[in-house]
C-alpha cells in the first residue's frame, strides 16, 4: 500500500475529524529550528513532534545518535497529541521526508496502519498557496495502545552475526562519500558495515521533489532478491526509514531497520569497518 499522500489529497481532507497532521520539521545541529518554524507557520491543525525530544531517546553509550524512544513514553506522547489506533496520521517536514518517515516507521512499529507521509513537504504546500497559520491546536487526548512489531527491528548483534553469510542484503542509506569512508562529518569513525551496499535515501525522490512510484522504486533496487531479508541503516536510524518505505513499496517482503545504525555500530569496540564500494549481492 502506498504510504505517500499528495498535497491536494491532504487539502481535501484538512478538517476531517479522524485525521491528525504532524509537523516533523527538524534540522540537525539546529535543534530548536523545527519548533520555531512550526510556531511561525504550519499546516492548519498540525501538531508538532520533535525528532530528538519526542521521536528519540536520550543518547547513551550505545544505541546511536537517535536511539528509539521508550515505547511507553512514545505511546503517551501520541495519545497526548490526539492520536488513537483509529486516527489517520499524515506527517510532513521540510527535510525531504526523512523526519516524517521516522514518525511513519515508529507508528508502523507500534502497530498503527493508517499513517502517511505528505509528498513534497511544507515549502511546496506554501508555494501552492494552500492555507497555513500559526494557531496552536487545542489538544484533545486520545488513547493509543501499542502492538509492537518486533520483526521490523534488528539489533547490532544480529547484524554482526549475518556479516559474510549471504543470508541478508544490507543497505547503507547515507551519502556515497560517507558510505565509502571518504568523509565523516557526524560520527567518530568513517566507513560502512562490511557487506553493505549503498543506496542514498534521497534518490527515492525525483527531480521534482516528489516520491517515486512503486515501479520507479523497484528500478532503484533492481537485481536484489525481494525475498531475502533486507536490513537498512544510515547514520542514526532516521534517513534509513525512507528507504524502508521505498523497499516495501517496491515489493520487498522482509525489510528491517537497524535503528542504531552506523553511530551505534561504531560504539562497540572491535566491530569491523569497511571502506570503498561493494558489489550488490545477486538476486534470484
pLDDT tens column, 188-197: 999 999 999 9
- pLDDT of 28 reads 87
* CB-based contact 117:101 (threshold 8 Å): yes
Task: Please give the grid coordinates belonging to residue 148.
Answer: 509492537
- pLDDT of 208 reads 93
2 pLDDT band, cuts 50/70/90, is confident
Task: Please give the grid coordinates belonging to residue 48.
Answer: 508538532
Strand partners, 5: 118
273 pLDDT band, cuts 50/70/90, is very high
Domains and CATH numbers, the chain: 4-127 (3.40.250.10), 150-265 (3.40.250.10)
Give the whole-number percent of the chain exceeding pLDDT 70.
Answer: 99
pLDDT at 137 over 90: no
Q: Which residues are catalytic?
A: 234
**DSSP state letter for 150:** G
Strand stretches in 125-283, DSSP E: 153-154, 168-172, 197-198, 229-233, 255-258
Range in 113-117, 133-137, 200-204 with the lowest mean pLDDT: 133-137
- pLDDT of 261 reads 98
Q: What value, to the nearest 5°, has the Cα angle with vertex 251 and ends 180 and 109?
A: 80
Mean pLDDT value of segment 246-256: 96
Amino acid at each position: 500500500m502506498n504510504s505517500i499522500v499528495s498535497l491536494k489529497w491532504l487539502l481535501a481532507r484538512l478538517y476531517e475529524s479522524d485525521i491528525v497532521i504532524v509537523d516533523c520539521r527538524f534540522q540537525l545541529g539546529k535543534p530548536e529550528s523545527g519548533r520555531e518554524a512550526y510556531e511561525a507557520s504550519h499546516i492548519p491543525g498540525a501538531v508538532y513532534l520533535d525528532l530528538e525530544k519526542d521521536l528519540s531517546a536520550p543518547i547513551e553509550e550505545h544505541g546511536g545518535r537517535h536511539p528509539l524512544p521508550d515505547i511507553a513514553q512514545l505511546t503517551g506522547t501520541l495519545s497526548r497529541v490526539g492520536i488513537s489506533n483509529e486516527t489517520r496520521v499524515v506527517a510532513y517536514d521540510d527535510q525531504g521526508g526523512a523526519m516524517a518517515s521516522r514518525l511513519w516507521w515508529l507508528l508502523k512499529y507500534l502497530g498503527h496502519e493508517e499513517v502517511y507521509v505528505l509528498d513534497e513537504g511544507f515549502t511546496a504546500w506554501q508555494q501552492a498557496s494552500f492555507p497555513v497559520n500559526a494557531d496552536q491546536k487545542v489538544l484533545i487526548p486520545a488513547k493509543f495502545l501499542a502492538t509492537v512489531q518486533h520483526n521490523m527491528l534488528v539489533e547490532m548483534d544480529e547484524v554482526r552475526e549475518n556479516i559474510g553469510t549471504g543470508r541478508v542484503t544490507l543497505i547503507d542509506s547515507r551519502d556515497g562519500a560517507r558510505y565509502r569512508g571518504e568523509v565523516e562529518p557526524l560520527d567518530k569513525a568513517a566507513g560502512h558495515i562490511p557487506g553493505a551496499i549503498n543506496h542514498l535515501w534521497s534518490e527515492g525522490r525525483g527531480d521534482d521533489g516528489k516520491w517515486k512510484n512503486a515501479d520507479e522504486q523497484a528500478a532503484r533496487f533492481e537485481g536484489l532478491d525481494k525475498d531475502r531479508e533486507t536490513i537498512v541503516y544510515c547514520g542514526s536510524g532516521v534517513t534509513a526509514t525512507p528507504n524502508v518505505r521505498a523497499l516495501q513499496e517496491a515489493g520487498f517482503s522482509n525489510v528491517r531497520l537497524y535503528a542504531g545504525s552506523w553511530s551505534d555500530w561504531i560504539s562497540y569496540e572491535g566491530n569491523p569497518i569497511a571502506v570503498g564500494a561493494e558489489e550488490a549481492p545477486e538476486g534470484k
